[in-house]
Structure 1
Amino acid sequence: MTQEIHGTVADGFEAAREEFAALVAAERPDYEGQLCAYVRGRRVVDLWSAGSGPDTLYAVHGSTKGAAFLVVAVLVQDGTLELDRKVTYYWPEFAAEGKGALTLRDLLTHRAGVVGTDTGFTVAELADDRAVAERLADQRPFWRPGTAFGYHALVIGALAGEVVRRATGHTLQQVYEDRVRAAYALDVHLGLPSAHEPRFRPTRPPEPTPTQRIERDARPDGPGTLHAIAYNRNAPASTDLAALPNDPLIRARGPASVGGVASARGLAGMYAAAISETGEREALLKPDTIAELGQLHATGHDLVTRTHRAYALGFQATAETWHPFLGAGAFGHSGTAGSQAFADPRSGLAYGYTRRRCAHPPGAAAENDRLVRAIHRAVTTRA
C-alpha cells in the first residue's frame, strides 16, 4: 500500500512534493523521512512521511558537524577565534608529536592527520569530546600535518570543541545552545534534553543489496588502515557507526562530530538562520563570514574516504561534492543515515533532509539529488 505524505509546499514548489511522494512510494513500507527547505528565510517546503511527523527527531550523524562549524564561524566573526593562529595558541598541549605548526584553518579542513588513535576509543570516550581531545593531543599524526587531508569523521568536532573551550571557557555545546539553537529556536540538539526523548526515533541499520554486501565485505579495511582508524574499527569493540547515536549516552552528551539529533525543519532552519533574516531575527552570519565559510579549502584525494572530496571551511563544499548545479560557495554537511543539510547563499536556499533507516553506502542518501534538484529548479525559475 502506498504511504501518504503530509505537509505543505509553497506555490511553485509542487515538484518537490511530487519527488518526495515518488520517493516514499518507491521505498520500503517502513520508510520514514522528512524534507524541508527555506528560501531567503521563508519556509517553502515542509513534508514528512507516514510514521514520522514535523517534530520527530532523528539521529543526523555527520550532519551534526554543521552545527559545530557554525559555532566556530560565530566565534571567528566576533574575533574570539582567529583562523590563521596556530592551534597551540589556544591549546598548548596539541603541540605534541609534531603538531605545533598547525593552524586553526588547517585543523578545520581535516589536515591535522589525527583521524583517530592507535588503539581506538570506547563508546563512553566518543560521547565525551574532552576525553577524545585529550587523547588526540598526545597522538602522533598519521600524515605530516598540513600536507594532505582526510575526513576526521568521529573526531573533528572534539578537536574544534577543545579550541572553543580553551578560548571561551565554555564547551562547544554550550556556545551552540546559547548563540545558535536557543537564539533561533532550532530543533537541532547537541545534547538531547530528556524531556525530548519521546520524540526521538532510533536509526535502523542499512539493508544493502546482495551485490553491495559482497563489495563491502571485499573492501580492504583491516584495523590498521586509515579508514578503519578514522571510523574506530581498530578499537577492541569496533564501532557500529549507524547505531552510535542510538546510545542514550551519545544523545545526552551530543558529541559535536556525530551526536546531533534533529528534524528536517531544524536542519533547514539552522542554515536559513545562518544566511538569511528569518522572521524578525537577523542572519546569524555576516556576508564576509558566509563567503569565507563557502570558500574551497581542500580539494582532491581524501586519504580516509579514498575518494575525491572538496571541503570548504570545515563544511563540505556542497556543490563540488554533491550537487554541482548549486551556486559556488554552497556549504553544508551530510550524515551516515542519509541526512543532508546545506545553505546555498547565492540562491538563498537552505535545505534539510532526514531519514530513519541508514543509507547504503553511508552519507547523503541518493534521493537527495532528485529532491534538491526539484527545489533548486523552483527557486531559480521564480528568481
Structure 2
Amino acid sequence: MSDLQKQVQVLVDGLVDDSVEDGVQVAVYRNGDLVVNVVAGVADTAAGQPVRPDTLFYSASTGKAAASTVAHALVDDGVFDYDTRVADLWPEFAAHGKGEVRIRHVLTHSAGVPAVPADTTIEQLTDWNGMCQLIADMEPWWAPGERVGYHAATFGYLIGEVVRRATGKPISTVLAERVAGPIGMADELFFGVPQEQLGRVARLTDDPGGKAAFASMPPEFPLFKAVPPAIVPNADFGNRRDVLTSDMPFAGTMSARAIAKMYAALIGEVDGVRLISPERLSEATTLATAGLDDEMTGGTSTWALGYCLGWPGTSDPSDRPTVFGMVGIGGSAAFADRATGVTVAVTKNRFNPIEMNIVQRVTELADEAFV
C-alpha cells in the first residue's frame, strides 16, 4: 500500500468516524495507473450497506465532463466538429434566431439558452423529447459566443440531442460504446442507470449545514434564473428512481474510479486505450472564455470546451492552467492535470452544495506526493 493510499484512507476514515461524511470513494490515477482506490463508510445509512469500489453515486454536474468527453470523442472520429452548427444536426433548434449556435458555443456555455422555465418540474426533466422540444423553441438570451452563462440543465440536452441526431443513438449508448466501454467502466459510469443496477446506487442524505447555507442564498441569485430552486439537485432529487434511470447528461451516476479512469484516458493511455488524440486534448482543455464573467454564477468564467480549468476552489485557472475537470453540486468532483499525469475523483453521499474539502485535500496530498 502506497503512502498516498494510506494518507487518503486516514483522511476519509476520519471524516466518517467524525460523522462529517456518510460514505466516500476516492480514486487517483497517475500516468495510467490506479494509485489510490479508497472507500469508507456506508452507501445507505438506514441499511448500513458499506461503500464498495463499484458503488454508484449520483454525482450531479460531475457528469457534465462525461458528456463533454463524448462530444470530443465524436469530433475526433469526424462525426462533427466544434464549429458545426447545432441546427445542421437538429434543424428545429434554429427557431428564434438560434441558427448560428455552434457546438463550440454549447461546450463553452455561451449558446445563449442557459435557463429552463421557472415552472419546470422534475418530471419534465426526465422527458427527453419534451425537454428537447422546449429548448429548441426557446428565444436566446444573447447572440452565440457574445456572453457566457452556466447552462446548468440545458447543457445536457444540447449535447445529448446533438449526439443523438449525429449518431442515431442516445448519448447514454454512445457513452458506453465510445468512452466507458473502452476503458472497462461501462458498468460504473452512467447517465441513466439501468433498472437492474439501481441496487448498487448509494442513497444520498442532505448535509444540514450545506442545505441551510444554500437555502439562505437570495432569490435573485443569478443561477436561480437558469435552474429554479424546485429542480436544483439535492438528496431527494438524486434518490428518485425516475431521475436515476433517465438520461439527463447535465449530471451523472458513477464510481470515483470510473470517472478518474476516464480522465486518465483523456490525458494518456490506460490499459492501452486513449480516448482522444493529444491534439484534441490540447484544444479541448484550453481556456475559451477569457475576459468574460459567468452571468449565471456571478464569477469569473473559466471554461475550456466543456471542462472548468484549475483545481476546485480556485477562480484563477492561470495558477494551474493544465488542470481541467468538473465539480458536482453535492461535493463530488473529478479533475486531471495534463502536466503531472494525475487524475483525482471523489464521490460521496452526504450531499453538501458548498463543500469541496475532500477533493481539495486529496489534490493537496497528490501534489505533495507527485509534484
TM-score when scaled to structure 2?
Answer: 0.89
Q: How far does residue 86 in structure 1 lie from its aligned partner after superposition?
A: 2.1
Residue 94 of structure 1, CA deviation: 1.5
| Alignment partners' CA distance in 2, 1:133 and 1:297 | 26
Contact persistence 1:130–1:158 (CA under 8 A): no
- Output the CA distance in 1 between the equivalents of 2:126 and 2:173: 15
CA distance in 2, matches of 1:217, 1:282: 43
8 Å contact kept, 2:33–2:270: yes
Q: Do 2:107 and 2:305's aligned partners in 1 also have CA atoms closer than 8 Å?
A: yes
In the alignment, is the contact (CA less than 8 A) between 1:310 and 1:321 conserved in 2? no
> Residue deviations 1:238-287, cap 9 Å, x none?
224113221111211231112x21111111112112222222x3211111
**For residue 345 of structure 1, what is the aligned residue in structure 2?**
338
Range 126-135 or range 323-332, more displaced: 323-332
Structure 1 residue 189: deviation in Å?
A: 1.4
| TM-score (normalised: structure 1) | 0.86
Whether 2:231 is the aligned partner of 1:229: answer no
**Paired AA for residue 175 in structure 2:** Y
Unmatched segments (≥5 aa) in structure 2:
43-50
Q: CA deviation at 1:16?
A: 3.3
Corresponding residue for 2:326?
Answer: 333
Question: Aligned partners of 1:325 and 1:13: how far apart in 2?
Answer: 29
Choose which of 233, 238, 250 in structure 2 pairs with 1:257: 250
- Measured at CA, do residues 316 and 263 of structure 1 come closer, stay the same or move farther in structure 2, by a change above 3 Å? same
Q: What one-letter code is carried by the residue in structure 2 that aligns with 1:133?
A: C
Deviations 1:134-180 (A, max 9, x none): 11111112233321111111120110111111111112111111111
- Cα–Cα, structure 1 residues 227 and 306, in superposed 2: closer, same or farther, change >3 Å? same
Change (3 A) 1:311 1:43: same
Distance 1:110 1:47, change over 3 A: same
**Aligned counterpart, 1:248:** 241
Deviation at 1:317, TM superposition (A): 1.3
In the TM superposition, residue 232 of structure 1 has moved relative to its aligned partner by 2.9
SS in 2 for 1:282: coil
Aligned equivalents of 2:143, 2:184: Cα separation in 1: 41
Task: Tell me the CA shift for residue 124 of structure 1.
Answer: 2.4
User: In the alignment, is the contact (CA less than 8 A) between 2:67 and 2:156 conserved in 1?
Assistant: yes
Where do 1:364-379 residues align within 5 Å? 365-379=356-370
State the alpha-carbon separation in 2 of the partners of residues 253 and 218 from structure 1: 30
Q: Supply the RMSD in Å over aligned alpha carbons.
A: 2.3
| Cα shift at 1:100 | 1.7
The corresponding residue for 1:4 is none
Report if the CA contact (8 A) 1:267-1:341 is conserved.
Answer: yes
**Partner of 1:5 in structure 2?**
none
Q: Contact 2:114–2:150 at 8 Å: present in 1 too? A: yes
CA distance in 2, matches of 1:34, 1:119: 35
Q: Distance in 1 between matches of 2:189 and 2:367?
A: 23
AA aligned opposite 1:268: A
Q: Supply the distance in 2 between the matched residues of 1:199 and 1:311 (Cα, whole angstroms).
A: 33
Tell whether 2:349 aligns with 1:356: yes
Amino acid at match of 1:159: L
1:62 aligns to 2:55 (yes or no): no
Q: 1:326, CA displacement in angstroms? A: 7.5
Which residue number in structure 2 is paired with residue 3 of structure 1? none
For 2:314 and 2:63, the matched residues in 1 are separated by: 18
Task: Name the SS for the 2:249 alignment partner.
Answer: coil
Query: 2:116, 2:154 within 8 Å by CA — same for their partners in 1?
Result: no
Query: Mean alpha-carbon deviation: is it higher for 338-347 or for 325-334?
Result: 325-334
Structure 1: gaps (5+ residues): 1-8
**CA shift in 2, pair 1:185/1:74, >3 Å:** same
**Shift in Å, 1:321:** 5.9
Name the counterpart of 2:72: 73
Contact 2:344 2:362 in 1 (8 A): no
Q: How many Å apart are 1:18 and its aligned residue? A: 4.0
Query: SS of the residue aligned with 1:50?
Result: strand
- Provide the residue aligned with 1:195 in structure 2: 196
Distance 1:94 1:145 in 2: 13
- 2:298 is the alignment partner of 1:306: yes
Q: By how many angstroms is 1:71 displaced?
A: 0.4
The worse-fitting range, judged by mean Cα deviation, of 317-326 and 343-352 is 317-326
- Find out whether 1:316 has 2:308 as its counterpart: yes
How far the C-alpha of 1:104 sits from its partner, in A, is 1.2
**Aligned twin of 1:114:** 113
Q: Does 1:282 align with 2:273?
A: yes
1:321–1:302 distance in 2 versus 1, CA, 3 Å: farther
Q: State the shift of 1:34 in Å.
A: 0.9
Cα offsets for 1:267-324 (capped at 9, x unmatched)? 1112112222222x32111110111111001244211112223111011113486496
Aligned residues: 358
**Matched residue, 1:31:** 22
Cα distance in 1 for residues equivalent to 2:154 and 2:353: 22
**Paired-residue identity, %:** 30
Whether the aligned pair in 1 keeps the contact of 2:12 and 2:24 (CA below 8 Å) is no
**Higher deviation after alignment, 297-306 or 19-28:** 19-28
Q: In the aligned structure 2, how far is the partner of 1:143 from the partner of 1:226?
A: 15
1:128/1:255 contact within 8 Å kept: no
The alignment partner of 2:359 has SS state of helix
SS at match of 1:274: helix
CA displacement at 1:357 relative to structure 2 = 0.9
